């Protein structure tokens, strides 16, 4: 938002300089955003590039200092739907579909925003299915390397289905909200609940995170809850 | 121990400590730093390169260069990410696909992912999504959720097949 405001200020400065150079009224000038050329409206013969304008602006150049602090926090929101299947013989749970809407207001860069959502979903799913820091009775970490810690791999994930939703905020001029790793928030409970739902017909009402095969298997065997399955898995 | 390895078509010879790993040879002796050291324990795949014995056909096998001694690679040909493009200024089709599909975020896993992909497509020119996911299981990425990486590999497959001499 600060960059946006600064850019607008610099553009106004440039308009004044370009008007001076072309001996035209500021209101008659327009910027071709694709070519970066300032022109008098309706007169393609007149043109000044950003470089011309910046040179003409002299030693002070085209400069804006902007600080932006929002008056209130923005609230991105979203919704995740997970479909999981469980091998009841082994307790292995697998995510087979993941559908999300993550609303970050105006999306400035769709490619980067999607990337943040993809990455966030994977992290969130991994928390529900696999990842856990384990310690022995003396407090030594048992999952301290990538050989022990179950970081999620490509083989354990499906491609994600992203639904677009853009509800701009009025708290800042761009209408933007946060998207950084947004998927982490919804993906974990969606996946966890999908796994439990997949075995709920067997009497399972709760499984502790993460839903490792041993925990899921123990829950199915006893129709047991979290405390009991935890004891069985250690 | 005296080691001679052909790296990206160029012979690199050096007298290195016995325990020198191939990845350190590539980074510190050959001065090619695209190959990253991630976990140092064969888990993450960031150091994946292609290696083949002298006279062997094809692109070589993908190996995790943190788990190969430089001495084991003596006499072989190694390809790193720096050696993929043919020098014409064009990227290798796998690199181009990772770029076009935005198959990366921080980029640390990318050289390894790209090399593993080149190896996969040499073995299986038109893999299914499931086969791609399975083949890249040994390459960890913490940013992308693999989504765009998988897309990039699937997009690269036809271009790689086309490029291969008939």
pLDDT tens digits, residue range A145-175? 998 999 999 999 999 999 999 999 999 999 9
Rounded Cα–Cα distance for residues B42 and B28 (Å):
19
Has residue A218 got a pLDDT over 50? yes
CB contact under 8 A, A154 and B132: yes
What are the two backbone dihedrals, phi and then psi, of residue A221, each rounded to the nearest 5 degrees?
A: -55, -45
* A 183-212: CB under 8 A from B: 183
Rounded Cα–Cα distance for residues B7 and B4 (Å):
9
Q: How far is A165 from chain B (nearest CA, A)?
A: 20
Count Cβ–Cβ pairs < 8 Å, chain A vs chain B: 71
User: For B102, which of A111, A147, A160 is closest by C-beta distance?
Assistant: A111
Contacting residues of A for B106, CB less than 8 Å apart: none
User: For A119, which of B41, B44, B105 is closest by C-beta distance?
Assistant: B105
* Structure token digits, residue B16: 């290195």
Q: How far is B78 from chain A (nearest CA, A)?
A: 26
The answer to whether A121 contacts chain B (CB < 8 Å) is yes
The answer to whether B36 contacts chain A (CB < 8 Å) is no
Rounded Cα–Cα distance for residues A146 and A124 (Å):
18
Contacting residues of B for A115, CB less than 8 Å apart: 102, 105, 143-144, 148
User: Dihedral of CA B138/B105/A127/A201: which sign?
Assistant: negative
Closest CA to A130 of A96, A95, A161: A95
Has residue B23 got a pLDDT over 80? yes
Mean pLDDT of B78-101: 94
The answer to whether B107 contacts chain A (CB < 8 Å) is no
Encode burial over A111-126: b for 16+ CB neighbours within 10 A, e otherwise: eebbbbbbbbbbbbbb
For residues B67 and B19, the answer to whether their CB atoms sit within 8 Å is no
Q: How far is A198 from chain B (nearest CA, A)?
A: 23
For residues A17 and A55, the answer to whether their CB atoms sit within 8 Å is no
Coil vs helix vs strand at B69: strand
CB contact under 8 A, B43 and A147: yes
Rounded Cα–Cα distance for residues B74 and B94 (Å):
28
Rounded Cα–Cα distance for residues A171 and A173 (Å):
7
CB contact under 8 A, B43 and A146: yes
- Give the confidence band of A20 by pLDDT, cuts at 50, 70, 90: confident
Best mutation target among B144, B147, B153 (most A Cβ atoms within 10 Å) is: B147
User: For A119, which of B39, B134, B143 is closest by C-beta distance?
Assistant: B143
What are the two backbone dihedrals, phi and then psi, of residue B79, each rounded to the nearest 5 degrees?
A: -115, 130
Taking each helix axis from N to C terminus, what angle separates B110-123 and B93-100, rounded to the nearest 10 degrees? 120
Mean pLDDT of A26-34: 86
Strand partners, A43: A40
Question: Among residues of chain B, what percentage have pLDDT more than 90?
Answer: 88
pLDDT at residue B165, rounded to an integer: 57
Contacting residues of A for B148, CB less than 8 Å apart: 114-115, 118
Has residue B161 got a pLDDT over 90? no
For residues B64 and B45, the answer to whether their CB atoms sit within 8 Å is yes
Coil vs helix vs strand at A25: coil
Has residue A226 got a pLDDT over 70? no
Contacting residues of B for A111, CB less than 8 Å apart: 102
* Structure token digits, residue B146: 């693999």
Distance of CA A11 to the CA centre of its chain: 30
Nearest C-alpha in A relative to B41 = A147
Nearest C-alpha in A relative to B143 = A119
User: For A160, which of B138, B142, B147 is closest by C-beta distance?
Assistant: B147
Closest CA to A93 of A232, A212, A231: A212
ipTM, 2 dp: 0.91
Question: pLDDT digit string (tens) for A31-65?
Answer: 888 888 898 888 877 788 888 898 988 878 899 99
pTM: 0.87
- Give the confidence band of A227 by pLDDT, cuts at 50, 70, 90: very low
């Amino acid at each position: 938002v600060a960059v946006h405001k600064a850019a607008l200020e610099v553009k106004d400065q440039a308009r004044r300089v370009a008007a001076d150079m072309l001996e035209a009224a500021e209101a008659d000038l327009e910027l071709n955003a694709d070519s970066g050329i300032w022109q008098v409206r309706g007169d393609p013969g007149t043109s000044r590039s950003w470089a011309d304008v910046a040179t003409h602006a002299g030693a002070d150049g085209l400069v804006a200092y902007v600080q932006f602090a929002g008056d209130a926090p923005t609230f991105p929101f979203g919704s995740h739907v997970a479909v999981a299947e469980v091998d009841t013989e082994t307790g292995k749970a697998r995510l087979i579909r993941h559908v999300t809407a993550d609303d970050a207001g105006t999306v400035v860069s769709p490619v980067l925003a999607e990337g943040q959502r993809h990455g966030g979903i994977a992290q969130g799913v991994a928390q529900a299915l696999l990842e856990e820091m384990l310690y022995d009775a003396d407090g030594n970490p048992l999952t301290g390397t990538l050989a022990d810690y179950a970081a999620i791999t490509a083989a354990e994930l499906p491609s994600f289905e992203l639904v677009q939703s853009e509800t701009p905020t009025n708290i800042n001029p761009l209408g933007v909200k946060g998207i950084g790793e947004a998927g982490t928030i919804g993906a974990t409970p969606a996946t966890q609940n999908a796994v439990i739902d997949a075995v709920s017909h067997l009497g399972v009402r709760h499984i502790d995170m993460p839903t490792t095969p041993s925990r899921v298997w123990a829950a199915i065997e006893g129709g047991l809850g979290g405390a009991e399955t935890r004891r069985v898995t250690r | 121990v005296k080691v001679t390895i052909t790296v990206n078509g160029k012979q690199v010879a050096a007298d290195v400590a016995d325990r020198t790993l191939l990845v350190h040879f590539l980074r510190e002796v050959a001065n090619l730093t695209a190959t990253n050291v991630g976990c140092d324990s064969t888990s993450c795949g960031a150091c994946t390169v292609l290696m083949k014995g002298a006279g062997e056909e094809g692109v070589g096998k993908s190996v995790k260069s943190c788990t190969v001694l430089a001495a084991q690679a003596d006499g072989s040909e190694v390809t790193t990410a720096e050696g993929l493009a043919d020098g014409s200024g064009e990227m290798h089709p796998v690199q181009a696909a990772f770029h076009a599909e935005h198959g990366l975020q921080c980029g640390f896993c990318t050289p390894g992912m790209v090399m593993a992909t080149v190896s996969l497509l040499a073995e299986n020119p038109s893999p299914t999504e499931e086969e791609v996911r399975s083949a890249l299981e040994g390459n960890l990425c913490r940013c992308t959720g693999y989504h765009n990486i998988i897309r990039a590999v699937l997009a690269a497959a036809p271009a790689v097949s086309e490029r291969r001499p008939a």
